[in-house]
Structure 1
Amino acid sequence: MPESVEQKIQTVFAEQSRRVLATLIRLLGDFDLAEDALQEAFIAALKQWPQEGIPEQPRAWLVSAGRFKAIDQLRRRARYHEILQQQADVLAAQAVVNMEEENAGIADDRLRLIFTCCHPSLAPEAQVALTLREVCGLTTEEIASAFLQKTPTVAQRIVRAKGKIRDAGIPYEVPEGDALLERLQSVLQVIYLVFNEGYLSSSADETVRHDLGDEAIRLAELLNQLLPEPQPEAMGLWALMLLHHARRHTRLDAEGELVLLDEQDRSQWDRDDIARADALVRHSLSSQRFGAYTLQAAIAGVHAQSPSAEQTDWTEIVGLYDLLQQHMPTPVVALNRAVAIAMRDGPEAGLEALHPLMEDKALRQYHLAHAARADMHRRLGKLSEARHDYEQAMRLTEQPAEQRFLRRRIAELAK
């Protein structure tokens, strides 16, 4: 059955709405006005396109319609606010610019929007909420559900972020030179925060949120496509998420319980994602300008390329962790290195590497540090110590699936 005009309009909305919004924000200089204009433009399309046909350039039509709808809205409100009349007059004057000239900036509008939503003057949680709302198009309710927060709280967070962008005069632009590299870190961090919530959800109902993982990967791909020149760490983050995403169907069993990496069915891993990630990692490493995301992707790549858990090259992984510590000298990296040493040289060597790290207060409050030590004690047959560490790990995590996994580990010690 041929696709109806209404279906085609819905397809245009799904594919183009975020692009149209990004351009309207640039033209109108106001998030809320642009969102209203976007909705009115699509309402107009639903009325006009079935009679007039879908235009050759639907995005340009929607941008133009949205801008004029915004001008009309400002003029309706202008009887109460003189400044709105002035704003409407300015926008109307700009509307006579040749459409080809106007369209020249459209290609970069989504990139501008990403950098604006991830501006470092905004709080991290506001950056995440605003990016998911404006760049990805998630509803406020969907964002609140994903992060186990109340919808009014997320709505207020988004409103305040928009207000700060407006009041502080945060420029709607892509930074250049050193400023681009500095700001890029904020963008990558936001994307990774979104992915991590999808990778192991805070929700008691959903251990894995594939939708958030998909959105984060889509954002990373979009970022890499739009950046004015290739950036190794942007490629590294994209690769890292692809490698984790490649295992998405094997991380839970049929009952929805967590399955550890060495017990996963590797034949079910997505080899296309792994191949794409491998090419990105190689490209990033060859630049000699790589950082922590690329090195984490390289470590994940060693696991992904290993035919089995027993054939994992732990010597290479320890070496990569040595490099990662130079770029990111954090307690968690040191912990992961100790775990890799335990796999390469045995649990006693792992405990020796882990012992001084547990002096760090942050690691003592980190459930995975206790779980790692428990596993080393278990492998050595020190079951009492292992049970104590597993119980401590269970007290420190609030993630339901992790708690269930740790209970199973404790029960196995009694067998």
Structure 2
Amino acid sequence: MIRSSYFLKSQTRSAKTETIKKRLQRARINLRSDNFQIRNLTEAEIKLRLDTVLKTLYLLFNEGYFSSTSDRQIRLELCSEATRLALLLTDNSLTNTAQLNALLALMCFQSSRLIARYNDSNEVILFEEQNKDLWDKSLILRGNYYLVNATNGSEISKFHLEAGIAYWHTTPADVNRWEHILQLYNQLILIEYSPIIALNRAFAFARVYGHEKAIGEAEKLNLTENSYYHQLLGYLYSDTNIAKSIKHYEEAINLTKSKIVQLTLRRKIELLGK
């Protein structure tokens, strides 16, 4: 999912970089040999392809929100381009669907906090430590607009649930917001299970029921080869068992290739050591 929480990072890119390059090369060759032409699509063709288009825009935004292919954690240009392309789809009644509006709501809510998510050293700032004054209130209002449009029908998609989670992140004054977020994660994990969704649910669980109970929830996942699993446990153990917390952060460092994440985690370990 788009990174609406703290350890959020796309887990969909399992293919190696070289494999992707080869696929792109084959695609270019096929386009040349097939005499590719742009033509108007029928209504049936548009409906058939819309889900793939929305997923592509979702992944493009996701890469910008928390990049896995750059030394920069956040790539604003990718988020902006994904949002621009999604907005173009609202001009056509065939593509201006509830799912599209839910996706746009998600993009707006997430974009509203982008500037507050990193400091001058390009380190990610966790939600609770962000300067709320830096949040873009106009984008939050636009997110609310698209979320209302997305709920005009009976459809509840992955985008709806993730937009709902992002909505509650932009309303920190609500004392029950973490209960709402956890309920949405409980629904989301039934629609589309992934390790990162499970980890984010465990974090929300911690905010509702406390770190001690959440440790059990997280450890049941047994995602020992996942850096974010160890980041989460490092965070959960930080109040009660500093040695375990440091151990998990060290393992998280070993499992990530991101230099920015490694630097951020080393600073956490340094603070715990003090």
Letter in 2 for 1:207: Q
Aligned runs of 1:71-82 on 2, under 5 Å?
A: none
How far off its partner does 1:373 sit? 1.1
Asked if 1:305 is matched to 2:164, the reply is: no
For the 8 Å contact 1:370–1:393, the answer to whether it is kept is yes
Q: In 2 relative to 1, CA 341–229 (structure 1 residues): closer, same or farther, beyond 3 Å? A: same
Question: Which residue, out of 96, 101, 105, partners 1:235?
Answer: 101
| Structure whose alpha-carbon radius of gyration is higher | 1
Asked if 1:369 is matched to 2:233, the reply is: no
For the 8 Å contact 2:46–2:94, the answer to whether it is kept is no
Q: In 2 relative to 1, CA 224–399 (structure 1 residues): closer, same or farther, beyond 3 Å? A: farther
Asked if 1:174 is matched to 2:41, the reply is: yes
For the 8 Å contact 1:303–1:312, the answer to whether it is kept is no
How far off its partner does 1:330 sit? 2.3
Unaligned runs of 5+ in 2: 1-11
Question: Which residue, out of 95, 98, 120, partners 1:254?
Answer: 120
Please give the per-residue CA displacement for 1:98-157, whole angstroms capped at 9, x wherever unaligned: xxxxxxxxxxxxxxxxxxxxxxxxxx99xxxxxxxxxxxxxxxxxxxxxxx89xx96x86
Asked if 1:383 is matched to 2:242, the reply is: yes
Aligned runs of 1:1-400 on 2, under 5 Å?
A: 160-165=26-31, 167=33, 172-174=39-41, 176-177=43-44, 180-201=46-67, 202-204=69-71, 206-307=72-173, 311=175, 313-358=177-222, 363-379=223-239, 381-400=240-259
For the 8 Å contact 2:253–2:262, the answer to whether it is kept is yes
Question: Which residue, out of 255, 259, 264, partners 1:405?
Answer: 264
Higher RCO (CA < 8 A, seq sep 6+): 2
Distance in 1, Cα, partners of 2:228 & 2:133: 27
Letter in 1 for 2:211: P
Letter in 2 for 1:342: A
Q: In 2 relative to 1, CA 226–366 (structure 1 residues): closer, same or farther, beyond 3 Å? A: farther
Q: TM-score, normalised by structure 1?
A: 0.57
1:128 maps to none
Please give the per-residue CA displacement for 1:283-332, whole angstroms capped at 9, x wherever unaligned: 21331213111211110110112238xx4611111111111122112232
For the 8 Å contact 2:83–2:107, the answer to whether it is kept is yes
How far off its partner does 1:169 sit? 7.6
Letter in 2 for 1:282: V
Unaligned runs of 5+ in 1: 1-123, 126-148
CA RMSD, 1 decimal: 2.6
How far off its partner does 1:174 sit? 3.5
Deviates more, 1:297-306 or 1:321-330: 321-330
Distance in 2, Cα, partners of 1:269 & 1:319: 25
Identity over aligned pairs, percent: 30
1:78 maps to none
Tell me, what secondary structure is at the counterpart of 2:117?
coil
Please give the per-residue CA displacement for 1:193-224, whole angstroms capped at 9, x wherever unaligned: 222222223322x3322111111110111123
Distance in 2, Cα, partners of 1:158 & 1:169: 17
How far off its partner does 1:261 sit? 1.0
Distance in 1, Cα, partners of 2:197 & 2:74: 23
Distance in 2, Cα, partners of 1:365 & 1:224: 41
State the aligned residue count: 257
Question: Which structure has the highest helix share of the two?
Answer: 1
Q: In 2 relative to 1, CA 159–276 (structure 1 residues): closer, same or farther, beyond 3 Å? A: same
Distance in 1, Cα, partners of 2:208 & 2:264: 24
Letter in 1 for 2:249: Y
Distance in 1, Cα, partners of 2:176 & 2:70: 32
How far off its partner does 1:249 sit? 1.2
Distance in 1, Cα, partners of 2:41 & 2:251: 46
For the 8 Å contact 2:165–2:181, the answer to whether it is kept is yes
1:67 maps to none
For the 8 Å contact 2:178–2:208, the answer to whether it is kept is yes
How far off its partner does 1:340 sit? 0.5
Distance in 2, Cα, partners of 1:276 & 1:402: 31
For the 8 Å contact 2:147–2:163, the answer to whether it is kept is yes
